[in-house]
Structure 1
Amino acid sequence: MAAFRDSSDFIEPASDDSASSFSLGSFAIGSDYASTFDQESLVGSLTNSVYEHVYENGRRYHSYKLGRYPMPNDDKEYQRETVRNALFTDILGGKLHLAPIGDQPQKMIDIGTGFGDWVIDAADRYPSAKVIGLDLSPIQPSWVPGNVEFVIDDVEENAWIHGSGYDFAHFRLMVAILKDLSSVLVNEIVPRIGCQNGSLPDDYAVDRFYQLLADVQKRKFGWDFSAAEKLPTQLASLGFHNIQRKVFHVPVGLWPKEKNRMQQAFLFREILTELLEALQSKPFNGHDPDVGLTKPEIDTLFDGVRAALSDKKVHAYIPIHFVWAQKPLLTPT
């Protein structure tokens, strides 16, 4: 299994307010990729098969690039993503991001947009911008602001995504999923389990769950849950500068005394509870040899996770990392 530790020595402390203060100044983002064909000719050229779905174990999944992303795309998943979007917005005090992109960006893209909540919010917040949401799954709403466009595609297989003059590329929980991080622009959020007061037991169910999930997803899909630890270094190697990171600790369990922290704990409990249900459809259904657990063993572990999400004694948390960086403009030759 992945080498996750439950003490705070491997986790950055939560950032204080001063860590998020910066001057907008003159901030411009460019690209060193040259566009080789017209993006607009690609949009809308998809075949009907892209919009089909696959149904397994009572859940619905995308059929385009089947197996590339294993999570469902049905109404239950929409509920989970909506709550997750609410949690991230709450963490940021109502902001959609921390990157200092100014008040009038012209073109933005959200990679792995899912149901498109962030794109719609960004389009409302920045009416000056064309906001594109990209995903493998055709699940986005039809009624959207006029400056929104959704595209069904794989970010790692089409160079047009990189060469279209985006002022801001937004990612959410995508670093572990991407096969080749060096091929895309990145803005990432990363969860890990931690505890600062010594109340985390050695057999803490949420910690064991994440270890098992990391191991299974690595073997089945090649996902690397530790990829985010390399993110600042990789961004630097890609030519990014002004690389910054802010860390927030989201409570796991109902132990906080502060109202806003308890609100985050409730939101996270809903998100993880819905995730468990989705995973019990596949691959944690007791029939996948890659998981290595019987259905009773899986049920016992997941019941332990659900109990931990309501625990008031263990002061666990998920450190969520927001990373942003600036790509230098090309110097004319």
Structure 2
Amino acid sequence: MSLDHSHSDHVFYVGEDDSEFFRSLHGRRFNNLNHTYCLPADQDEVKRSELHQRMMQFVFSGRNYIGPVKEALQFGQHRRILDLGTGAGLWAISMADEFPRAEVIGIDLAPLQPRNVPPNCTFELCDINQIPIPYPDNYFDLIHARSMHTGITDYPKMIREIARLLRPGGLVLLIEPSLHPFSEGAEFPTPSSLSPSSSNSHWSSFWETYRNCLNRQGIDVSVPEKLADFLLASGKFEAIVQRDGNIPVGFWPQDPILLTVGQLQWMDFDLFLPAVRPLFLSLGLGERHVDNLIANAHEDLYHPPVDGLGCRIYIVHASKEIA
């Protein structure tokens, strides 16, 4: 890991002792740079990010992306990729392996990334809410942001910052899961047949509580559904393509690929449910109520009251206008 503070005061050097970048909250370890982001920064969260990375590779047919990524990286001699909210750094490392001539930079709130990485991959600590992000204008060919909107207090502002950082013609790839789960029979639902989970299910109660807590943190929980709108409203992007779809949760799909996706998403949620316990407690919810809420949601995850448990994911890519 090569981290320095030469860009600005928002980027920090991490030596052998990284304890100053973490804090403890209700038995879990969290980043110490941004207290708005509500998910832990510990080994369970690293494991969850590994599951999510594997799942997305199945969704993308074995790749790390969709859209004209290779075309965007054919520009110029020095190609640069930025991974916003890199987490455990798995996407950045995979991209560095696939594109050895590109410089790949991952930024995050906590030094969770491995130290032994490809030579063209570096990680830096940075609070993305502290704009400007410390890189020059028109610096990157590709910017990627995945599953991170729950830590961003002003997502349209971040979109405008992405536009500043991208070179003309550069590509942005945004991926965000919806915070509204669903269930729909035994058949995998199409977007037109999507229906909310029963309002009185424990699963739905958990997600409603999570959304309410995020709202109290100043987070817009409807961001995933508005990604394309944000890009359009910025006036900086063209060729905006949205490819949203449904992700199965659990072991019910008959298709072997969807079954694998469902298993990975199920394991992701199995770790996610206890990960939000500190958030619930820190916002004043009673410990017994929180523990019951999570236990009941786990029961619905292990033994779904209806068939077809799923979630929706929004995937949008766009190019920065050239003129």
Aligned to 2:315: 322
Residues 1:235 and 1:288: Cα distance change in structure 2 (over 3 Å): closer
Aligned to 1:183: 157
Deviation at 1:50, TM superposition (A): 7.0
Aligned to 2:237: 240
The match for 1:55 among 14, 18, 24 is: 24
Q: Would you say 1:95 and 2:63 are equivalent positions?
A: yes
Q: Distance in 2 between matches of 1:235 and 1:121?
A: 26
| Aligned ranges 1:249-264 → 2 under 5 Å | 249-264=246-261
User: Structure 1 vs Structure 2: percent identity of aligned residues?
Assistant: 24
Q: Which amino acid aligns with 1:302?
A: I
Whether the 8 Å CA contact 2:184–2:308 is kept in 1: the answer is yes
Aligned to 2:191: none
Q: Would you say 1:300 and 2:288 are equivalent positions?
A: no
Q: Would you say 1:211 and 2:208 are equivalent positions?
A: yes
Residues 1:147 and 1:47: Cα distance change in structure 2 (over 3 Å): closer
Residues 1:253 and 1:205: Cα distance change in structure 2 (over 3 Å): farther
Aligned to 2:168: none
RMSD: 2.6
Residues 1:117 and 1:172: Cα distance change in structure 2 (over 3 Å): same
The match for 1:195 among 166, 174, 183 is: 183
Q: Distance in 1 between matches of 2:136 and 2:100?
A: 23
Q: Which amino acid aligns with 2:182?
A: G
Aligned to 1:69: 37
Q: Distance in 2 between matches of 1:326 and 1:85?
A: 24
The match for 1:273 among 270, 275, 278 is: 270
Q: Distance in 1 between matches of 2:121 and 2:19?
A: 19
Q: Which amino acid aligns with 2:207?
A: Y
Whether the 8 Å CA contact 1:54–1:61 is kept in 2: the answer is yes
Whether the 8 Å CA contact 1:155–1:161 is kept in 2: the answer is no
Residues 1:216 and 1:321: Cα distance change in structure 2 (over 3 Å): same
Which runs of 5 or more structure 1 residues have no equivalent in the other structure? 1-38
Q: How many residues align?
A: 285
Deviation at 1:61, TM superposition (A): 1.5
Whether the 8 Å CA contact 2:103–2:120 is kept in 1: the answer is yes
Q: Distance in 1 between matches of 2:14 and 2:294?
A: 39
Greater strand share, 1 or 2?
2
Aligned to 2:224: 228
Deviation at 1:183, TM superposition (A): 2.7
Partner-residue secondary structure (3-state), 2:6: helix
Residues 1:199 and 1:256: Cα distance change in structure 2 (over 3 Å): farther
Q: Which amino acid aligns with 1:55?
A: S
Which runs of 5 or more structure 2 residues have no equivalent in the other structure? 163-171, 186-194
TM-score, normalised to structure 2, is 0.79
- Cα deviation 1:178-228 (Å, max 9, x = unaligned): 222233336132223223447954423222211110111110x21111022
Q: Distance in 1 between matches of 2:142 and 2:101?
A: 13
- Cα deviation 1:21-78 (Å, max 9, x = unaligned): xxxxxxxxxxxxxxxxxx983287647797522123332112223x132221111111
Q: Distance in 2 between matches of 1:181 and 1:288?
A: 23
Deviation at 1:91, TM superposition (A): 1.1
Q: Would you say 1:167 and 2:136 are equivalent positions?
A: no
- After superposing on structure 2, the runs of 4+ consecutive aligned residues of structure 1 that deviate more than 6 Å are 47-50
Q: Which amino acid aligns with 2:262?
A: A
Deviation at 1:288, TM superposition (A): 3.8
Aligned to 1:108: 81
| Aligned ranges 1:69-148 → 2 under 5 Å | 69-102=37-70, 104=73, 106-148=79-121
Deviation at 1:310, TM superposition (A): 3.1
TM-score, normalised to structure 1, is 0.77
Q: Distance in 2 between matches of 1:308 and 1:180?
A: 33
Q: Distance in 2 between matches of 1:110 and 1:224?
A: 21
Larger RCO of the pair (alpha carbons < 8 Å, separation 6+): 1
Aligned to 1:152: 125
Whether the 8 Å CA contact 1:249–1:320 is kept in 2: the answer is yes
Deviation at 1:164, TM superposition (A): 4.6
- Cα deviation 1:225-263 (Å, max 9, x = unaligned): 102222212201222111111123111233222222222
Deviation at 1:122, TM superposition (A): 0.6
Which deviates the most, 79-88 or 39-48? 39-48
Partner-residue secondary structure (3-state), 1:133: strand
Partner-residue secondary structure (3-state), 1:102: helix
Partner-residue secondary structure (3-state), 1:260: helix
Q: Which amino acid aligns with 2:181?
A: I
